[in-house]
Amino acid sequence: MTNDAIALANGHIGIEIAALGAELIRLRDKGGRDFLWSGDPQYWNGRAPLLFPMVGRAMGDHIKIGGKHYPLPQHGFARRSRFETVSVSPTRAVQRLVDSEATRAGFPYRFRLDIAHELRGATLAISATVTNPGDLSLPVSFGFHPAFRWPLPGGNGPHEIMFEKDETAPVRRLDDGLIAPRDVPTPVAGRRLKLDHGLFAEGALIFDRLASRRLTYGPSGGPSLAFSFPDLPHLALWTKPDAPFLFIEPWQGYAAPSGFDGEYAERPGVVSIAPGAQRVFAMEIEVRG
């Protein structure tokens, strides 16, 4: 186990979670096969960072709040923050990040972010509960950013994404990290997206009008992963050139549109949490085969 990581197992699957970023760093089946990307720095040294309080980039890497600009890096600060361990059992762990002087320098709000990882049979359930303890409405985005091996261990032949519903809406691309103004015809044929590195030659595929809240990933035969994300209306799929992994990223929100310099609360995909309220963003990953 990695230093200061939390390990959970239930006889069906096992995981490890880092304190830095509350990041999932292992997802193994009962045979020991790891479906999560290894973090090999030759390609990308991450595994499954959490995106908060922003998904994607802002123009000039600054957001505007009350007419004032605040520096906020791409995907926010949670992935580079150390979380406190709240509770651990053999099959469930909760980690917490709260606002600090450092976070308020770029995001001037009070917040509490609780990340729970729980094993339920062959399913990993991850929930992010954002609580607003302050007196002002709290504008946030949240996203999952996991990378999975491509091909999956034990998976032979071409891989595909099978969506829950037909995905007919156009998709979006990025221009210098911001949402490009043009629509791109969807590469999905009905519910099926046949995966090929050429799909990502121009970067990520961003589904900002996603119909599905479930999908499966893997080859037509062999092991696969099934995803459910009922609270997250957006999705990104991406890989680096010739890299042996695929990002499958359910999001609430996405990068700012090119040229957007409005208030952060008005950015497309940002949601507001009332004082004293909370909002949950959840995803489940089932290991099959």
pLDDT at 220: 86
Each domain of the chain, given as residue ranges in start order, spans 6-288
Is residue 157 within 8 Å of residue 219, measured between CB atoms? yes
Q: How far apart are CA 276 and CA 18, in angstroms?
A: 29
Is 255 in a helix, a strand, or coil? coil
Closest CA to 195 of 149, 227, 153, 130: 149
Average pLDDT over residues 262-289: 97
pLDDT at 1: 43
Q: How far apart are CA 242 and CA 195, in angstroms?
A: 12
Average pLDDT over residues 162-185: 97
Confidence of residue 87 (pLDDT cuts 50, 70, 90): very high
- Angle made by CA atoms 169, 175, 180, in degrees to the nearest 5: 35
pLDDT at 193: 98
pLDDT tens-place string over residues 61-74: 999 999 999 999 99
Contacts of 116 (CB under 8 A, 6+ apart): 92, 93, 94, 125, 126, 127, 129
Share of the chain above pLDDT 90, in %: 97
pLDDT at 289: 85
- Supply the DSSP symbol for 5: -
pLDDT tens-place string over residues 96-135: 999 999 999 999 999 999 999 999 999 999 999 999 999 9
Closest CA to 91 of 18, 6, 168, 195: 6
Average pLDDT over residues 12-20: 98
Average pLDDT over residues 23-35: 97
pLDDT at residue 21 greater than cutoff 60: yes
Place of tokens 């990933």: 217
Distances 93 to 25, 119, 195 between C-alpha atoms, Å? 14, 9, 34
- Which class is domain 6-288? mainly beta
In the numeric block, which tokens belong to residue 42? 């030759």
pLDDT at 3: 58
pLDDT at 286: 98
pLDDT tens-place string over residues 212-271: 999 999 998 889 999 999 999 999 999 999 999 999 999 999 999 999 999 999 999 999
pTM of the model: 0.97
| Number of neighbours of residue 251 by Cβ within 10 angstroms | 26
Confidence of residue 4 (pLDDT cuts 50, 70, 90): confident
Distances 134 to 112, 139, 186, 229, 247 between C-alpha atoms, Å? 10, 12, 41, 28, 34
Closest CA to 145 of 212, 65, 237: 237
In the numeric block, which tokens belong to residue 54? 């922003």
pLDDT tens-place string over residues 33-45: 999 999 999 999 9
Closest CA to 54 of 263, 275, 189, 252: 252
Average predicted confidence (pLDDT) for the chain: 97
Is residue 79 within 8 Å of residue 56, measured between CB atoms? no
